[in-house]
């Protein structure tokens, strides 16, 4: 077996009998940052969701291996406990559940040993000050009444605390102001050097700050072109039409 | 949450019970003789005996309510209930003197620790009478009376006679009549003028004997400009035959006074819980019911407030959880009798595994009551397709200046919420528990911490084994 964190081979995914992903290959190794760009509806979020195990999506062909094991063996929460993390494009609100409490429980879910209160507080304070988040967030309800940018910051805060092996960031940069974007980029750069990233984005501006190892252009459920950082620049400049046969 | 809070709560939820250690126990069934015997044994004044007897006859002649859950009500076998049982011959002031098995139960409930840490005073009702009673010295110094109801009647007969049954007369309904006939235990509290009781005052009740009816009677009077927060917790071990719990709670808030009465009840699945709770709020007074109902077979409970004085305010926050085979018929009643009175009602219910919860509310505005405002919000959360939730709001408004709002919602847990939480390492059951706790949070945050911890724990346990 390879040293890959994630290995996807010839993947087909359907939702409600409609095929969305149509023959996709992807290998992510430790420390690599893979950017995916593509038009609305190309299937980017679908890929992220199926990797995390969303029950609405059915794998109709191909294989996904995470840390050498077939991903079918993991339930959603087991994937999280095994070090996978998804930053949601549209994080849902959980009314009545306080952010502070939710974060502590989440951290305890994925760590082998329960975190000590004092240690958790330390990590939390450090991460929040990096993201320039006010303490008052902790007593708010998860994503409830949050602005778009606040939701994305909370996703980043979770990533920093959960320290994943594989981070799937679905348009975490969308809706962020310039300052917040810088903070997010910093968050990504400062994550463990062994973490693998799948960064879904529409904009070059994030990739200016976080240099991708690979850029994949996705059209209609497939990667039609893979390249280095220069591909992102080209896509931003020329759009996707030139890639279509 | 602190570990201390967790420890103090302990495994109170579980249906542990001690062997019945009843010194005096009446035969099953009810008659005028049983009622007179109870009164005689307690050495009560004549007026109380007569009130009990009148109430008994009213109970016998009064038909069952024709709403709520008639089938379940009709299945109560009143002849198969023990109406009086005394498990300890006197009320203990010193914890050391409480019999061991009883003490054991309360230790597991965490009452002595709880008392030291959080409570202004504790009275624990075991079977029919308080076996343990204490009150903080500073409360006593301020002239606050906190006794079990039987002792209250003995030590303060004039005060009791003046107020007993004035808020809820025995003829109010069939179960208030039953309670008045056979009541035993409960709390009696009087807070004199201008005294603010800072810490919550607390009592626990338990039903621990088979087919043991529990008919506690609570009367709380808070005098002008004073305030009190009273907390009551209930749990019952599980038995194979049905138990009946029928309490009456009367609150009186004088001018500018404030009373909050908080309850979390967790009855075992065979208990009929038929409780009448009502408070009167005089000028600018506030009466608040914070009422949580978990368990029981059938609960019928509608905490009520009579807004009698101008500017008085009522607050009723309640939650109900109905699991398999359970029906929670709960709600609130507010009577706006005076001008410029206001009320807020928030009711939240969860139904699961075919459980049924109903909101039954009554809002009345008198012709003379100008400028009243009321807001009612009912939210129901259904955890599966087999469960049921209904709303029966009644409004009788006879004054056109009233400003009334009513909102109702029924929701389900969304797949996206579950997926989000599971992607953070929560199992499906844990995710449900978190969402359910969040749904009840507007209620839970009103509770003293140890109750909040306990309620959350209970709901999490309820979610276990719920995923097919
Ligand atoms: N649960 C679902 N039910 C039905 N169709 C779905 C579902 N989820 C996604 N789709 C469809 O799958 C296609 C791909 O959606 P996806 O969300 O993966 O696109 P995307 O590439 O992330 O787009 P965007 O850039 O707008 O976020 C779309 O046509 C979408 O409508
Ligand atoms: Mg998307």
Query: Of A241-245, B26-30, B269-273, which one has max mean pLDDT?
Result: B269-273
pLDDT in tens, B38-91: 999 999 999 999 999 999 999 999 999 887 788 888 888 888 888 876 654 444
Q: How far is the CA of A97 from the centre of ligand 1 (A)?
A: 28
pLDDT in tens, B159-191: 999 999 999 999 999 999 999 999 988 889 999
A162: left (phi over 0), alpha (psi -120 to 50) or beta: alpha
In angstroms, rounded to a whole number, what is the distance separating the alpha carbons of residues B291 and B277? 10
- Model confidence at B111, pLDDT cuts 50, 70, 90, reads low
Q: Say yes or no to pLDDT of B155 above 90.
A: yes
Distance (Å) from the alpha carbon of A98 to chain B's nearest alpha carbon: 8
Q: Would B34 be classed as within a structural domain? A: yes
Contact B422 A110 (CB under 8 A): no
Q: Say yes or no to pLDDT of B153 above 50.
A: yes
Contact between A92 and B414 under an 8 Å Cβ cutoff? The reply is: yes
The nearest alpha carbon in chain A to B441 belongs to A96
Contacts with A81 from chain B: Cβ below 8 Å: 425
Distance (Å) from the alpha carbon of A54 to chain B's nearest alpha carbon: 7
Is B414 an interface residue toward A (CB < 8 Å)? yes
Q: Nearest bound ligand to CA A202?
A: 1
Ligand 1 near A187 CB (within 6 A):
no
Q: Which is higher by pLDDT, B288 or B245?
A: B288
In angstroms, rounded to a whole number, what is the distance separating the alpha carbons of residues B293 and B284? 29
Q: Tell me the mean pLDDT in the region B138-154.
A: 88
Number of independent structural domains in chain A? 1
Q: Would A225 be classed as within a structural domain? A: yes
- Model confidence at B97, pLDDT cuts 50, 70, 90, reads low
Facing residues of B190 across strands? B145, B221
Q: Would A142 be classed as within a structural domain? A: yes
Q: How far is the CA of A206 from the centre of ligand 1 (A)?
A: 22
Residue A193: the pLDDT is: 83
Q: Say yes or no to pLDDT of B312 above 50.
A: yes
Q: How far is the CA of A179 from the centre of ligand 1 (A)?
A: 29
Instruction: Report the nearest-CA residue for atom 7 of ligand 1.
Output: A15
Q: Nearest bound ligand to CA A38?
A: 1
Retrieve residue A124's tokens: 């939390």
Q: Nearest bound ligand to CA A218?
A: 1
Distance (Å) from the alpha carbon of B422 to chain A's nearest alpha carbon: 5
What 8-state DSSP symbol labels residue A181?
H
Contact B425 A77 (CB under 8 A): yes
Contact A86 B435 (CB under 8 A): no
Can you spell out the DSSP letters for B185-216? --EEEEE-TT-B--SPEEEEEE--STTB-B--
Q: Would B364 be classed as within a structural domain? A: no
In angstroms, rounded to a whole number, what is the distance separating the alpha carbons of residues A82 and A26? 20
Q: Would B388 be classed as within a structural domain? A: no
Q: Say yes or no to pLDDT of B456 above 90.
A: no
Which of B377, B419, B425, B430 is the best mutation test for A, with the most CBs of A within 10 A? B425
Count of CB atoms within 10 A of residue A155's CB?
22
Contact A97 B414 (CB under 8 A): no
- Model confidence at B107, pLDDT cuts 50, 70, 90, reads low
Q: Tell me the mean pLDDT in the region B440-467.
A: 77
Q: Would A109 be classed as within a structural domain? A: yes
Residue B125: the pLDDT is: 52
Is B19 an interface residue toward A (CB < 8 Å)? no
Q: Exposure pattern of B5-23 as b/e (b: 16+ CB <10 Å)?
A: beebbbebbeeebbeeebe
Contact between A97 and B413 under an 8 Å Cβ cutoff? The reply is: no
Number of independent structural domains in chain B? 2
> Can you give the pLDDT of all 245 residues of chain A as single tens digits?
468 999 999 999 999 989 999 999 999 999 999 999 999 999 999 999 999 999 999 999 999 999 999 998 899 999 999 999 999 999 999 999 999 999 999 999 999 888 998 999 999 999 999 888 999 999 999 999 999 889 999 999 999 999 999 999 999 998 888 888 998 898 888 887 899 999 999 988 899 999 999 999 999 999 999 999 999 999 988 888 888 86
Residue B11: the pLDDT is: 30
Minimal Cβ distance to B419: which of A54, A97, A106 = A54
In angstroms, rounded to a whole number, what is the distance separating the alpha carbons of residues B15 and B10? 12
- End residue of a domain, out of B242, B274, B301: B301
Q: How far is the CA of A243 from the centre of ligand 1 (A)?
A: 21
Q: Say yes or no to pLDDT of B18 above 60.
A: no
Q: Which is higher by pLDDT, B240 or B406?
A: B406
In angstroms, rounded to a whole number, what is the distance separating the alpha carbons of residues A95 and B442? 10
Minimal Cβ distance to B423: which of A52, A95, A96 = A52
Contact B417 A54 (CB under 8 A): no
Residue A118: partners with Cβ closer than 8 Å, 6 or more residues away: none
Residue B118: the pLDDT is: 39
Q: What ipTM does the predicted assembly reach?
A: 0.96
Retrieve residue A24's tokens: 């996709």
Residue B129: the pLDDT is: 47
pLDDT in tens, B332-389: 999 999 999 999 999 999 999 999 999 999 999 999 999 999 999 999 999 988 898 9
Instruction: Report the nearest-CA residue for atom 28 of ligand 1.
Output: A41
Ligand 1 near A221 CB (within 6 A):
no
Q: Which is higher by pLDDT, A99 or B447?
A: A99
In angstroms, rounded to a whole number, what is the distance separating the alpha carbons of residues B81 and B94? 32
Residue B271: the pLDDT is: 86
In angstroms, rounded to a whole number, what is the distance separating the alpha carbons of residues B208 and B203? 16
Name the percent of chain B lying above pLDDT 70.
77
Residue B101: the pLDDT is: 55
Q: Would B231 be classed as within a structural domain? A: yes
B100: part of which helix (H) or strand (E)? helix B100-109
Q: Say yes or no to pLDDT of B4 above 80.
A: no
Q: Would A1 be classed as within a structural domain? A: no
Contact between A186 and A7 under an 8 Å Cβ cutoff? The reply is: no
Strands B286-295 and B258-267: parallel
Q: Residue A151 is part of which domain span?
A: 6-244
Retrieve residue A106's tokens: 């989440």
Q: Say yes or no to pLDDT of B130 above 70.
A: no
Contact between B309 and B281 under an 8 Å Cβ cutoff? The reply is: yes
Q: Say yes or no to pLDDT of B19 above 80.
A: no
Residue A191: the pLDDT is: 81
Q: How far is the CA of A86 from the centre of ligand 2 (A)?
A: 12
Residue A189: the pLDDT is: 86
Residue B115: the pLDDT is: 45
Q: Would B154 be classed as within a structural domain? A: yes
In angstroms, rounded to a whole number, what is the distance separating the alpha carbons of residues B437 and B426? 14
Residue A163: the pLDDT is: 93
Contact B424 A102 (CB under 8 A): yes
- SS3 category, A86: strand
- Please give the angle made by the CA atoms of A207, A209 and A210, to the nearest 5 degrees: 60
CATH assignment of the domain containing A200: 3.40.50.300
Burial class (CB in 10 A: 0-12, 13-18, 19+), A135: exposed
The nearest alpha carbon in chain A to B2 belongs to A117
Q: Nearest bound ligand to CA A88?
A: 2
In angstroms, rounded to a whole number, what is the distance separating the alpha carbons of residues A85 and A161? 11
In angstroms, rounded to a whole number, what is the distance separating the alpha carbons of residues B348 and B381? 8
Which of B346, B420, B444, B449 is the best mutation test for A, with the most CBs of A within 10 A? B420
Distance (Å) from the alpha carbon of B442 to chain A's nearest alpha carbon: 7
Q: How far is the CA of A26 from the centre of ligand 1 (A)?
A: 19
Q: Tell me the mean pLDDT in the region B454-459.
A: 74
In angstroms, rounded to a whole number, what is the distance separating the alpha carbons of residues B181 and B188? 18
Q: Residue B106 is part of which domain span?
A: 3-301
Average pLDDT, chain B: 83
Count chain A–chain B contacts defined by CB atoms under 8 A: 74
Q: Would B359 be classed as within a structural domain? A: no
Contacts with A163 from chain B: Cβ below 8 Å: none
pLDDT in tens, B211-247: 445 888 999 999 999 999 998 875 544 444 558 889 9
Minimal Cβ distance to B424: which of A55, A95, A158 = A158
Distance (Å) from the alpha carbon of A134 to chain B's nearest alpha carbon: 22
Give the 3-state secondary structure percentages of chain A, helix then strand then coil, rounded to 5. Answer: 40, 30, 30
Is A120 an interface residue toward B (CB < 8 Å)? no
Contacts with B414 from chain A: Cβ below 8 Å: 92
In angstroms, rounded to a whole number, what is the distance separating the alpha carbons of residues B271 and B303? 19
Is A100 an interface residue toward B (CB < 8 Å)? no
Contact A85 B417 (CB under 8 A): no
């Amino acid at each position: 077996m390879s040293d890959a964190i994630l290995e996807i081979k010839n993947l087909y995914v359907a939702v409600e009998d409609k095929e969305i992903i149509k023959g996709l290959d992807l290998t992510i190794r430790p420390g690599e940052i893979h950017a995916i760009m593509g038009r609305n509806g190309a299937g980017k979020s679908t890929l992220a969701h199926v990797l995390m195990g969303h029950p609405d999506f059915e794998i109709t062909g191909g294989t996904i291996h995470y840390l050498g094991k077939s991903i079918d063996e993991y339930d959603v929460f087991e994937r999280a406990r095994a070090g996978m993390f998804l930053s949601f494009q549209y994080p849902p609100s959980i009314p009545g559940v306080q952010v502070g409490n939710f974060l502590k429980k989440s951290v305890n879910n994925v760590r082998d040993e329960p975190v000590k209160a004092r240690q958790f507080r330390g990590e939390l304070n450090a991460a929040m000050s990096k993201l320039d988040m006010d303490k008052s967030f902790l007593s708010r309800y998860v994503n409830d009444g949050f602005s778009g940018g606040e939701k994305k910051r909370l996703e980043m805060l979770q990533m920093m605390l959960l320290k994943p092996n594989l981070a799937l960031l679905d348009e975490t940069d969308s809706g962020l102001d310039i300052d917040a974007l810088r903070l997010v980029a910093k968050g990504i750069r400062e994550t463990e050097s062994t973490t693998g990233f799948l960064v879904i984005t529409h904009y070059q501006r994030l990739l200016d700050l976080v240099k991708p190892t690979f850029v994949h252009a996705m059209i209609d459920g497939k990667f039609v072109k893979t390249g280095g950082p220069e591909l992102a620049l080209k896509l931003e400049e020329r759009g996707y039409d030139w890639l279509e046969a | 949450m602190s570990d201390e809070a967790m420890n103090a709560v302990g495994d109170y939820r579980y249906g542990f019970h001690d062997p019945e250690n009843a010194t005096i126990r009446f035969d099953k069934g009810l008659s005028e003789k049983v009622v007179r015997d109870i009164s005689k044994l307690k050495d009560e004044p004549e007026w109380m005996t007569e009130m009990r007897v009148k109430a008994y006859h009213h109970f016998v002649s009064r038909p069952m309510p024709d709403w709520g859950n008639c089938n379940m009500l009709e299945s109560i076998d009143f002849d198969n209930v023990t109406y009086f049982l005394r498990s300890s011959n006197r009320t203990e002031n010193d914890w050391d003197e409480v019999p061991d098995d009883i003490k054991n139960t309360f230790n597991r409930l965490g009452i002595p620790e709880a008392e030291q840490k959080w409570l202004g005073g504790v009275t624990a009702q075991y079977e029919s009478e308080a076996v343990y009673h204490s009150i903080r010295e500073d409360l006593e110094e301020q002239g606050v009376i906190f006794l079990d109801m039987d002792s209250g009647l003995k030590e303060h007969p004039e005060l009791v006679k003046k107020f007993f049954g004035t808020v809820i007369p025995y003829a109010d309904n069939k179960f208030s009549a039953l309670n008045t006939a056979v009541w035993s235990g409960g709390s009696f509290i009087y807070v004199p003028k201008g005294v603010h009781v800072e810490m919550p005052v607390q009592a626990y009740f338990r039903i621990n004997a088979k087919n043991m009816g529990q008919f506690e009677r609570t009367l709380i009077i808070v005098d002008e400009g004073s305030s009190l927060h009273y907390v009551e917790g209930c749990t019952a071990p599980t038995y194979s035959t049905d138990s009946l719990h029928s309490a009456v709670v009367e609150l009186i808030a004088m001018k500018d006074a404030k009373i909050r009465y908080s309850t979390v009840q967790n009855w075992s699945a065979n208990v009929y819980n038929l409780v009448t709770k009502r408070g009167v709020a005089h000028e600018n007074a506030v009466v608040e019911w914070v009422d949580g109902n978990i368990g029981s077979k059938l609960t019928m409970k509608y905490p009520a407030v009579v807004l009698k004085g101008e500017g008085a305010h009522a607050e009723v926050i309640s939650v109900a959880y109905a699991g398999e085979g359970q029906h929670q018929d709960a709600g609130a009643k507010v009577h706006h009798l005076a001008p410029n009175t206001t009320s807020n009602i928030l009711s939240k219910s969860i139904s699961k595994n075919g459980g049924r919860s109903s909101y039954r509310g009554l809002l009345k505005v008198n012709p003379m009551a100008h400028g009243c405002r009321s807001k009612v919000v009912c939210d129901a959360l259904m955890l599966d397709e087999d469960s049921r939730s209904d709303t029966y709001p009644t409004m009788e408004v006879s004054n056109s200046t009233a400003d009334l709002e009513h909102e109702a919602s029924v929701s389900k847990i969304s797949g996206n919420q579950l997926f989000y939480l599971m992607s953070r390492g929560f199992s499906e059951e844990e995710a449900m528990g978190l969402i359910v706790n969040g749904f009840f949070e507007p209620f839970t945050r009103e509770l003293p911490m140890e109750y909040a911890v306990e309620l959350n724990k209970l709901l999490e346990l309820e979610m276990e084994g719920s995923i097919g």
